[in-house]
Amino acid sequence: MTTRVGVIGTGNIGTFHVNTLATRVSGAEVTAVFDVDTQRAKSLADDVGARSCDSAEAVIARDDVDALLLASPGALHPQQVLACLEADKPVLCEKPLGVTTEECLFVLEAEVALGRQLIQLGFMRRYDPGYLQVKAALDGGHIGDPLMLHCVHRNPTVPPSFNADMAITDSVVHEIDTSRWLLGEEITAITVLGGRTSRHASAQDPQLVLFETESGVIVDLESFVNCQYGYDVRCELVGSDGVVNLDNPTVSAVTAQGNRSTTVPADWQTRFGPAYVVELQAWIDGVGGGRYTGASAWDGYATTAVATAGLRARATGDRVEITLVDKPSLYDGACA
């Protein structure tokens, strides 16, 4: 009954996943891990009673590995996901599915050829209670037709190496997915505006990103990766009859020295840690039962298509349109 998971990549997020699977998810066991930093992989494997392997391929091939979790560098995802498909094993792939639209499409076609979904993308926000409530408010008819979506996505700091392009591919990509998922339609154009840069930033930051969707909804997103004060992800979905706001979770407030204060999440672990646990539990539950509740390879392809258009938009200052291939019927009924 236990699903035995192999984890490829044991950096920041990979380590988080290994520990979550080993200690917080029912019905899961981590049996094998791989990382180019073999020391780190070995140490983590020991912690959770798993084996450290010599390669990603070795992990995928093992008999005691029923399913794979990819937390390796994005550039390696297509080839590793294809190996999972070949081995006929379910794979939870952290974003992105691939760095280029072409390689995403290649993976997508492979899955379509297989005829059933093995790939889930790691867009954990779809499991966050707040986002689910926003979606429920829209889908439940409480705010009428969606017209605009205002988003902010702020990180306290990033390393100097984290440039303005990476803000698009690594950070904005989350709103690309949530916008598509919330609105239930594709993004057709993207614009990226610069403006005044924070003195704490080593690259253009913040940026204002605009999406347009098939039905004409405008999404604006402030991407600010050096906001200093905390990890702050919020949105306001504007409908024809009302609005719904995603707030930071708060459960207590301290009043002292003239102020009533609530805490802003310090980092993504604080904010979305619980959503990752739910995501992994749902994935493990689904792997057993053949049900998929998360983002699909199609979502991986579409988000990369928008993100790469975003890079062009940033470079040129232009509004860049996105055209997707026809959606294979395999993904009908999928979330977006």
Q: For the segment 248-277, give every residue that binds a second copy (CB under 8 A).
A: 248-264, 266, 274
Query: Can you tell me the distance from the alpha carbon of 250 to that of 264, in angstroms, rounded to the nearest whole number?
Result: 8
Query: What are 248's two structure tokens?
Result: 């930071």
> In sequence order, which residues have a C-beta less than 8 Å from that of residue 258 and are 6 or more positions away?
none
Q: Which of the ranges 61-69, 93-101, 139-147, 161-169 carries the binding residues for a second copy, by CB under 8 A? A: 139-147
The minimum distance between CB 150 and a second copy, in angstroms, equals 7
Contact flags string 218-237 toward a second copy, x per CB under 8 A: x-x-x-x--xxxx-x---x-
Q: Per CB under 8 A, which of residues 150..169 are in contact with a second copy?
A: 150, 152
> Among residues 224 and 301, whose Cβ is nearest to a second copy?
224
The minimum distance between CB 242 and a second copy, in angstroms, equals 3
Is residue 195 involved in binding a second copy (CB under 8 A)?
yes
Sheet holding 187-193, edge to edge: 232-239, 146-154, 218-224, 207-213, 187-193, 320-321
Query: Can you tell me the distance from the alpha carbon of 147 to that of 129, in angstroms, rounded to the nearest whole number?
Result: 22
The minimum distance between CB 132 and a second copy, in angstroms, equals 9
> In sequence order, which residues have a C-beta less than 8 Å from that of residue 303 and are 6 or more positions away?
95, 96, 97, 121, 123, 173, 176, 177, 180
> Among residues 71 and 151, whose Cβ is nearest to a second copy?
151
Contact flags string 97-136 toward a second copy, x per CB under 8 A: -------------------------------xxx--xx--
Among 281, 296, 304, 308, binds a second copy (CB under 8 A): 281
The minimum distance between CB 198 and a second copy, in angstroms, equals 4
Helix axes 297-316, 173-183, angle to 10 degrees: 120
Element (H, E) at 236: strand 232-239
Is residue 28 involved in binding a second copy (CB under 8 A)?
yes
Q: Which of the ranges 9-17, 95-103, 167-175, 209-217 carries the binding residues for a second copy, by CB under 8 A? A: 209-217
Contact at 8 Å (CB) between 14 and 78? Answer: no
Is residue 242 involved in binding a second copy (CB under 8 A)?
yes
Contact at 8 Å (CB) between 252 and 168? Answer: no
Among 76, 285, 327, 328, binds a second copy (CB under 8 A): 285
Q: Which of the ranges 4-12, 35-43, 166-174, 194-202 carries the binding residues for a second copy, by CB under 8 A? A: 194-202
The minimum distance between CB 228 and a second copy, in angstroms, equals 5
Query: Can you tell me the distance from the alpha carbon of 36 to that of 194, in angstroms, rounded to the nearest whole number?
Result: 36
The minimum distance between CB 140 and a second copy, in angstroms, equals 9
Contact at 8 Å (CB) between 131 and 182? Answer: yes
Backbone phi, psi, residue 264, to 5°: -90, 140
